[in-house]
Structure 1
Amino acid sequence: MSEGTMQRAAQRDPSHQRARRLSRAVVGAAAVPVMLIAAGCSSDSGSDDASKNASASASASAAPSPTVQAAAYDKLPEACDVLAKDTLGDLVPKAGKSGKEGSSDDTSTRASCSWSSLDNNGVKGSQFRWLNVSLLRFESDITRGEGDKLAAEFYAKQVQDAQATKDAKNVKSEPVAGTGDEATLVRYDLKKKEGSFKQQTVVARVENVVVTLDYNGAGLAGEKTPSADTLTKLAEKAAKEAVAAVTKANGSGTDGDSAGTNPSKSPSKDATEDSAKDSSKKPSAKASAKS
């Protein structure tokens, strides 16, 4: 029997065919554990990554949210009511019953009121007086800082602006005692076509509120120029009264508290970003004499 014939006979032999099938089965079975091991390794790696991500997420959520101490004062008094009737009678005797309220889109954060007085003495001339009180309240802001610190920055800027008034002569500055947490008087002379004006600007800060009081006077049409010292005393008195009105509006101080200090501060609170508001709006910073 030839070799080819023997090979074909072997292939047709049932026992030989069973042996070949068995061999293929063994090889296939051996490959299964390898696939399972590879799949197992891949599954374990994914679990580790998921665990790490979950741990990082938990750590991030556990971190405390940024906070800032809430401002002590949360309201302002009516600007046209901060000065007593008698005080107005001394500063602006011909102003009438009420002042002119300044425009504001939020009177809880900024407000102002002005009064003007012209005492006309006919051919002897006239005495002119002008008074303006501006109130600005700063709220604590998560990005900008605490309200009282923001107010302190604005207070310093108001003083600098008053000192740098254009064409001002004989500029003098001095601290004002017993008026809020800090206060400064800036006074100077300003020559205008109507006459020589004596300007007094008192800038005061109490907690997170800044009070700016501008007061000037002039003798017109030949009337004598008013005494700067007299105007200074009146301006300082009015500034103390305005500061006292701020503390009273927020539950501190009394009717007789002319110093306007706040011995008992409001309890500290945490203000979150949701409660923070924009306090960047400012009244006119330039304190100058007006006719």
Structure 2
Amino acid sequence: MLIAAGCSSDSGSDDGKDKGAGASASTSASPSPTVQAAAYKKLPEACGVLSKKTLEDLAPEAKAGKEGSSDDLSTRASCSWSSLDNNGVKGSQFRWLNVSLLRFDSDTTRGPGDKLAKEYYAKQVRDAQSAEGAKGTKVEPLSGTGDEATTVRYDLKKKEGTFKQQTVVVRVENAVVTLDYNGAGLAGDKAPDADDLLKDAQKAAKEAVASVTKANSAGEADSSPSASGSGKPSGKASGKASPSASKPSAAKG
């Protein structure tokens, strides 16, 4: 009897209560926040972003590129080339070239990938400017390369000679390309012309950016969504070679 009464009481409940319960369920099932998917979903092979001719011009004595370590080459990759033209008692010409690529996925907490890339781009420019021991630092915007680009240049005197450092930082969509190029005259040879080095670095940076864009062209882009990523480049990568072996030790980044 009690059970029957209970059922009878429920079946005659007020319509307003049913609507209230439905509204509560609807509120609890509100949609999750979304973020615009990142434009680029992959990176090219770092040691293949520059043409053979460009490498011959910038690092003529380099035998092969040295790939940096990375736990995920789709978000972080790098490659460096070291060139030493040894002319014996007449001195030597040293060149070092490094290309670092970072790609940021969109993240519902941190924001769209291009915004995260923009923040990292600004940090890379600041780091390049703050190199310890740098002399005559010049920072200039670079047009016609990616969505935004900046060049940072300075001299760094060491016991081996005066190193002419050129850094080009470029953001294109949700990817950042950082190209470092330096040269020095060693063993009494004269220092290379900084303006010539800068022109070569800018040309190479533009070529590297084009490689990133090509890797994500309609015919080659990965179809997997990028909005589910962490918002950070995954993995621990050495974006650049060891300073003691190549880049002037005061440089950061």
TM bracket, shorter-chain basis: 0.7 to 0.9
Cα separation, 2, equivalents of 1:168 and 1:144: 34
> 2 CA distance for matches of 1:161 and 1:137?
18
User: Which of residues 118, 132, 146 in structure 1 aligns to 2:98?
Assistant: 132
Any stretches of 5+ residues in structure 2 without a counterpart?
Answer: 1-5
- TM normalised by structure 2 equals 0.83
Asked if 1 retains the 8 angstrom alpha-carbon contact of 2:40 and 2:175, the reply is yes
**In the alignment, what sits opposite 1:58?**
26
Q: What does residue range 117-128 of structure 1 map to in structure 2 within 5 Å?
A: 117-128=83-94
Shift of 1:57: 1.3
> How far is 1:168 from its partner?
0.6
What per-residue deviation string (whole Å, max 9, x for no partner) do you get for residues 188-213 of structure 1? 00111221100000000110000000
**How many residues are matched?**
235
8 Å CA contact 1:202–1:214 kept in 2: the answer is: yes
1:178 to 116, 141, 144: 144
Alignment CA distance shift 1:270-1:65 (3 Å): farther
Residue 32 of structure 2 is aligned to residue 75 of structure 1: no
> Is the 8 Å Cα contact of residues 69 and 271 (structure 1) preserved in structure 2?
no
Distance 2:43 2:225 in 1: 21
Q: 1:90 to 1:271 in 2, by over 3 A?
A: closer
Question: Which residue of the other structure, out of 216, 221, 243, is the alignment partner of 2:182?
Answer: 216
User: Counterpart of 2:56?
Assistant: 89
Deviation at 1:55, TM superposition (A): 2.4
Q: 1-side partners of 2:87 and 2:98: how far apart? A: 24
Query: CA separation of 1:284/1:152 partners in 2, compared to 1, >3 Å: closer, same or farther?
Result: farther
**1:212-237 alpha-carbon deviations (Å, 9 max, x no partner):** 00000001110101100010000000
- Asked if the contact 2:168–2:180 (Cα under 8 Å) also holds between the matched residues in 1, the reply is yes
Structure 1: 5+ residue stretches without partners: 1-38, 254-265
User: Is contact 2:102-2:233 (8 Å) kept?
Assistant: no
- Runs of 4 or more above 6 Å deviation: 42-50, 284-288
Structure 2 CA distance for aligned equivalents of residues 60 and 110 of structure 1? 39
- Hey, what's the Cα distance between the residues in 2 that align with 1:225 and 1:76? 35
Aligned counterpart, 2:3: none
* Corresponding residue to 2:193 among 219, 224, 227: 227
Counterparts in 2 of 1:140 and 1:198: CA distance versus 1, 3 Å: same
Residue 276 of structure 1: aligned partner: 229
Alpha-carbon distance in 1 for matches of 2:94, 2:226: 46
> Contact conserved, 1:201 with 1:212, CA < 8 A, in 2?
yes
Question: Could you say which structure has the greater relative contact order, defined with CA pairs below 8 angstroms and 6 or more residues apart?
Answer: 2
Length-normalised TM-score, structure 1? 0.73
Going by fraction, where is helix more abundant, 1 or 2? Answer: 1
Cα-Cα RMSD: 2.9
**Which aligned pairs between 1:1-291 and structure 2 lie closer than 5 A?**
52-61=20-29, 63-96=30-63, 98-251=64-217, 275-281=228-234, 289-290=247-248
